[in-house]
Amino acid sequence: MTNEPRRYCLITGCAGGIGQSLVKCFSSAGYQVIGTDIVVKPDNLDCLNYIQVDVSLIATDEQYAANFLSSVKGYTGDNGLHVLINNAAIQILGGIDSLTWQDWQNTLDVNLLAPFFMTKLLLPELEASKGCVINISSIHASLTKSNFVAYATSKAALSGLTRAMAVDLGSRVRVNAIEPAAIETQMLIEGFENNQTELEKLKQYHPIGRIGQADEVAKLAITIAGDGMHFMHGACISVDGGIRSRLFDPS
Is residue 2 over pLDDT 70?
A: no
Q: What is the pTM of this model?
A: 0.95
pLDDT for residue 113? 98
Element (H, E) at 163: helix 149-169
Rg over CA atoms, the chain: 18
User: From CA 164, how far away is CA 175, in angstroms rounded?
Assistant: 9
pLDDT for residue 48? 86
User: From CA 167, how far away is CA 233, in angstroms rounded?
Assistant: 9
- SS percent in the chain: helix, strand, coil, step 5: 45, 15, 35
User: From CA 67, how far away is CA 38, in angstroms rounded?
Assistant: 15
- By annotation, the residues acting in catalysis are 151
Domains of the chain (ranges plus CATH)? 8-238 (3.40.50.720)
SS3 state of residue 5: coil
Average pLDDT over residues 56-73: 97
Average pLDDT over residues 100-121: 98
pLDDT for residue 195? 85
pLDDT for residue 214? 96
User: From CA 76, how far away is CA 105, in angstroms rounded?
Assistant: 32
Is residue 223 over pLDDT 80?
A: yes
Is residue 240 over pLDDT 60?
A: yes
- pLDDT one-digit tens code per residue, 130-189: 999 999 999 999 999 999 999 999 999 999 999 999 999 999 999 999 999 999 988 788
Is residue 251 over pLDDT 60?
A: no
Q: What residues have CB less than 8 Å from 156, skipping those under 6 apart? A: 140, 141, 142
Compute the mean pLDDT over every residue in the chain, rounded to the nearest whole number: 94
pLDDT for residue 186? 81
User: From CA 222, how far away is CA 217, in angstroms rounded?
Assistant: 9
